[in-house]
Amino acid sequence: MQNVVKETIFQKSSNGVAAATTMDTTDTPTQTVANIIYFIAGLFEVTLLFRFILKVTGANPGNAFVSGIYGFTQFLIMPFRGIFPSATGTGVEVRSVFEPATIVALMVYAFLAWGIVKLVGILAGRSSEEL
C-alpha cells in the first residue's frame, strides 16, 4: 500500500507574487521500509517506557497488564542488565525499582533504529535528506 502525500510548494516570483503549487507524491520502497522500522522501534520504546514507569511507581506485578508489559520487555532489556545496579525503595504499600537497564535499552534501541534506517538509505542509494 503506497502512502500518497500532498505537498504544497510556495514560490515567490520575480514580481513579488507568491504562487502555490500542490502535487501528490508517493512513498518509495525505501521510505516504506524506514517507516516500518520506526514503527517497530516505536512499539519497543513505548513498552519500555511503560515498564520504566510501572517499575518506578511500584505497580503490582500480579496485575495482568503489568505482568504482560514486564514479560514482553524482559527480553528487550536482557542484554543491558548488570551494567548499572538497580535501586529499590520500599514504601508503606509499594516497592519501587529504579532500573537503569531500561533507560539504556531505550537509548540503544532508538539509536539502533536510526542507524538501520540510515543503512537502508545508503544501500538504496538515497541521500539523507530523502528519508
Q: What confidence tens digit (pLDDT) does each residue in 42-82 have? A: 999 999 999 999 999 988 889 999 999 999 999 999 999 98
pLDDT band, residue 86 (cuts 50/70/90): confident
With bands split at pLDDT 50, 70 and 90, how would you rate the model's confidence at 29?
confident
Q: Integer distance in angstroms from the first to the last C-alpha of the chain?
A: 18
- Return mean pLDDT, the chain: 83
**pLDDT band for position 117 (50/70/90)?**
very high
Domain range list for the chain? 28-130
